[in-house]
Amino acid sequence: MMKVYMDYAATTPVDPRVVKVMQTFFSEKFGNTMSLHRWGREAKQALEESRESIAKLMNAKPTEIIFASSATEANNQALKGIAFANRKKGKHILISSIEHHCVLESANWLEQEGFKVTRLPVDEYGIVHPESVEKSIRPDTILVSIIHANNEIGTIEPIAEIGKICRERGVYFHTDAAQSYGKIPIDVERMNVDLLTASSHKMYGPKGAAALYVREGVNLEPLLHGGGHEFGLRSSTVNVTSIVGFAEAVKLCKKEMKKESKRLTKLRDRLIQCTLQIKDSHLNGHPKKRLPNNANFWFAFIEGESLVMDLDAHGIAASTGSACSTEKLEPSHVLLAIGLKPHEAHGSLRLSLGRWTTRKEVNYVLEVLPRSVKRLRKISPYKGKWE
Amino acid sequence: MGIIIRKMRHEFLLYSKEILKHFKRPKNVGKIKDPSGIGIAGNILCGDVMHLYLKIKNDRIVDAKFETFGCIVAVANSSMVTEMIKGKSLSEALKISKEDLLKKIGQPLPPIKIHCSILATDALYEALYDYYVKSKLPIPKKLEKEHKRIRRTLETIEKRYKEFIKLEKEVLK
């Protein structure tokens, strides 16, 4: 049986070239970046070189990069850090209704702490319209946070336009670029962002490393207090090994981005085109304004977790926004936000491609997927209609 | 506010052989022509719906078929329940509980998946209830109780979703 990993949006394997660079940092160059001796200096130098590479790929200054352990941490830091440092200016935060859970839940928590949160709607493709941001900014708004590219449906948001509005209104603007950094061009100047989150393990780097870009002059409250690492914003002995890996992954992505994004777009479009030949199948997200590696569908009359497990039985890794795979037994908030009914959202499937996806793999999925859908429809009580 | 750690929760989704077997090759899929009883359980809003069709002769279930929209556990349990009840008398079938089904799975299900087993036994109770009503037979007390519980749960879900959708519309205004 062929084994096909098509869940790169969940996490990616670490590129062997990255592993190789990381290796010496486990037991040879293991020093603490705060130590004065040569072991410490060696680690510190590796850290600062990594910071520079990661900053470069988003056109930022190295001093504007703070390392964190995950994109979740970086997003928590951005929302809570801005909220608490600027609460005298105002208590209102603006986010979209399709943010990643770590942004949504941070906002929910801040709401419990007395902040006010507005969750902006999106259109049927999952796009946040800049006018709605403009309309929702109030005198007490301190932060706008809009995801750059959605993790489920891959829709790319008009970040530069939204950023321009925030800049004009004097409001801090954060974007979660965990899914997009390393895959599509990012420029913090052109995009008018004040804070940006990037993740290592979504772009062939190791887990345990992420970066938060914080524009010079932004007022941020730290979450972790201690030895004053990361300019006092994130105390913790620095995970140099993972960060060095992150930086190496960034270099590879930078070098290969143009070619790779073209290659994946072609594979993605073939996957989408052929899958939509299946009766009663629909594409989620925007046909063009989407990540080169993301395809997301919903199939009427079947349930997504069953579909994922049936594909798994055929060696294919995919994911779903169905309710059965969540705690609350409610389908994905993203799919509901783009207007899907709960029963429709239950039949969703995300296929995300990556560096090792081949045409042969796409063909295999295209061979198995229609059969799986057909089999589950045979079991389903709904035959061609929802009654 | 805050979370108090009580004990480790094991919610690791490892499906038993029995579940995988019935999911990959479910038994008794389909409809029965002129069924003696039909049981519908679950709600499409929650993502689990089972239709169970029974053929009953001389107080005995001679055939059972199902159609299910749902996750792997829901599909497998649907198949398992049809196998369990075929050939059973009505009073024997009525005694089958979700615990019997869970025992047959052979491995504890994570709490979040328990409702998938309830789905299968609920469909069974509803199909038996339907048979008793249609045949104008006196309905056993236990069945009456189960039927009322199932109706109540459905109403709660529908109410919850109506509120949910109302809330969503307000947010989107």
For B120-149, write each residue's pLDDT tens digit.
999 999 999 999 999 999 999 999 999 999
A336-364 mean pLDDT: 96
pLDDT at A40 over 90: yes
- What's the gap between Cα A381 and its chain centre? 36
Per-domain residue ranges for chain B?
A: 17-172
For A128-178, write each residue's pLDDT tens digit.
999 999 999 999 999 999 999 999 999 999 999 999 999 999 999 999 999
Contacts of A50 (CB under 8 A, 6+ apart): A240, A243, A244, A246, A247
CB contact under 8 A, A303 and B168: no
Is the Cβ–Cβ distance between B101 and B119 less than 8 Å?
Answer: no
| pTM, two decimal places | 0.93
Output the pLDDT for position A327.
58
Mutation target to probe the B interface, by most B beta carbons within 10 A, among A328, A340, A346, A374 is: A346
Which chain A residues touch B164 with a CB distance below 8 Å?
Answer: 330
Instruction: State which of A198, A222, A252 marks the end of a domain.
Output: A252
- Interface check B75 vs A, CB under 8 A: yes
Rounded to a whole number, what is the distance in Å from the CA of A311 to chain B's nearest CA?
11
Q: How confident is the model at residue A16 (pLDDT cuts 50, 70, 90)?
A: very high
Picking from B20, B29, B47, the nearest residue to A324 by CB comes out as B47
pLDDT at B3 over 80: no
Output the pLDDT for position B41.
95
- Interface check B27 vs A, CB under 8 A: no
Among residues of chain A, what percentage have pLDDT more than 90?
Answer: 96
- Interface check B24 vs A, CB under 8 A: yes
Pairwise CA distance, residues A119 & A105, whole Å: 12
Domain match, A33 and A68 both: yes
Domain match, A351 and A233 both: no
Output the pLDDT for position A289.
98
pLDDT at B171 over 70: no
Pairwise CA distance, residues B1 & A110, whole Å: 12
Q: How confident is the model at residue B13 (pLDDT cuts 50, 70, 90)?
A: low
Residue of B nearest to A376 (CA): B69
Packing angle between helix B114-134 and helix B141-172, nearest 10 degrees? 120
Residue of A nearest to B2 (CA): A109
Which residues from A are below 8 Å from B when comparing CB atoms?
97, 112, 119, 121, 301-303, 305-306, 309-310, 313, 322-325, 327, 329-331, 336, 342-343, 346, 378-382, 386
Pairwise CA distance, residues A147 & A103, whole Å: 9
CB contact under 8 A, B69 and A382: yes
Domain match, A339 and A229 both: no
Mutation target to probe the B interface, by most B beta carbons within 10 A, among A135, A305, A372, A378 is: A305
Instruction: State which of A224, A252, A280 marks the end of a domain.
Output: A252
Domain B17-172 has CATH 3.90.1010.10: yes
Domain match, A306 and A157 both: no
Among residues of chain B, what percentage have pLDDT more than 90?
Answer: 63
Interface A-B: count of C-beta contacts within 8 A: 75
B7-15 mean pLDDT: 60
CB contact under 8 A, B45 and A336: no
A234-251 mean pLDDT: 98
A275-284 mean pLDDT: 98
Higher pLDDT pick, A275 / B4 = A275
Rounded to a whole number, what is the distance in Å from the CA of A56 to chain B's nearest CA?
39
Packing angle between helix B72-85 and helix B17-24, nearest 10 degrees? 90
pLDDT at A75 over 60: yes
Output the pLDDT for position B16.
85
Higher pLDDT pick, B117 / A87 = A87
A262-267 mean pLDDT: 98
- Interface check B44 vs A, CB under 8 A: yes
Which chain B residues touch A324 with a CB distance below 8 Å?
Answer: 47-48, 70-71, 74, 116
CB contact under 8 A, B69 and A112: no
Which chain B residues touch A379 with a CB distance below 8 Å?
Answer: 26, 29, 67-68, 75
Is B116 an annotated catalytic residue?
A: yes
Picking from B20, B45, B75, the nearest residue to A306 by CB comes out as B75
For A299-333, write each residue's pLDDT tens digit.
999 999 999 999 999 999 999 988 765 556 678 99
Picking from B1, B72, B168, the nearest residue to A306 by CB comes out as B72
Whichever domain contains A370, its CATH number is 3.90.1150.10
Domain match, A238 and A300 both: no
Pairing label, strands A92-96, A141-145: parallel
Output the pLDDT for position A326.
57
Pairwise CA distance, residues A353 & A7, whole Å: 7
Output the pLDDT for position A257.
98
pLDDT at A91 over 70: yes
CB contact under 8 A, A379 and B164: no
CB contact under 8 A, B71 and A331: no
Among residues of chain A, what percentage have pLDDT more than 70?
Answer: 98
Contacts of B139 (CB under 8 A, 6+ apart): B129, B132, B133, B147
The pair phi, psi for residue A297, each rounded to 5°, is -125, 165
pLDDT at A7 over 70: yes
Which chain B residues touch A301 with a CB distance below 8 Å?
Answer: 69
For A333-367, letters b (16+ CB in 10 Å) and e give: bbbbbbbbebbbbbbbbbbbbbbebeeebbebbbe
What value does the mean pLDDT of chain B take? Answer: 88
Output the pLDDT for position B87.
97
CB contact under 8 A, B47 and A301: no
Considering its fold, how many domains does chain A have in total?
2
Q: How confident is the model at residue B106 (pLDDT cuts 50, 70, 90)?
A: confident
Q: How confident is the model at residue B15 (pLDDT cuts 50, 70, 90)?
A: confident
CB contact under 8 A, B44 and A121: no
3-state helix, strand, coil in chain A (%, to 5): 40, 15, 40
Residue A280 belongs to what domain range? 4-11+257-379
DSSP string of A185-205, one letter each residue: ---TTTTT-SEEEEESTTTTS
For A110-128, letters b (16+ CB in 10 Å) and e give: beeeebebbbbbbeebbbb
Output the pLDDT for position B172.
54
Task: Evaluate whether residue A311 is within a structural domain.
Answer: yes
- Interface check B111 vs A, CB under 8 A: no
Pairwise CA distance, residues A250 & A328, whole Å: 36
Instruction: State which of A252, A284, A301 marks the end of a domain.
Output: A252
Whichever domain contains A185, its CATH number is 3.40.640.10
Is the Cβ–Cβ distance between A312 and A178 less than 8 Å?
Answer: no
Which chain A residues touch B47 with a CB distance below 8 Å?
Answer: 303, 322-324, 329, 331, 342-343, 346
pLDDT at B108 over 80: no
Token pair recorded at residue A314: 């055929």
Packing angle between helix B114-134 and helix B72-85, nearest 10 degrees? 40
CB contact under 8 A, B29 and A121: no
Rounded to a whole number, what is the distance in Å from the CA of A190 to chain B's nearest CA?
30
Nearest alpha carbon to residue B120 among B80, B61, B62, B63? B80
Rounded to a whole number, what is the distance in Å from the CA of A191 to chain B's nearest CA?
26
Task: Evaluate whether residue A356 is within a structural domain.
Answer: yes
Task: Evaluate whether residue A239 is within a structural domain.
Answer: yes
B26-44 mean pLDDT: 95
Residue of B nearest to A372 (CA): B24
Nearest alpha carbon to residue A249 among A66, A31, A57? A57
pLDDT at B77 over 80: yes
Q: How confident is the model at residue B67 (pLDDT cuts 50, 70, 90)?
A: very high
pLDDT at B110 over 80: no
Output the pLDDT for position A137.
98
Output the pLDDT for position A324.
62
Amino acid letter for position A105: E
pLDDT at A125 over 70: yes
Mutation target to probe the A interface, by most A beta carbons within 10 A, among B65, B71, B80 is: B71
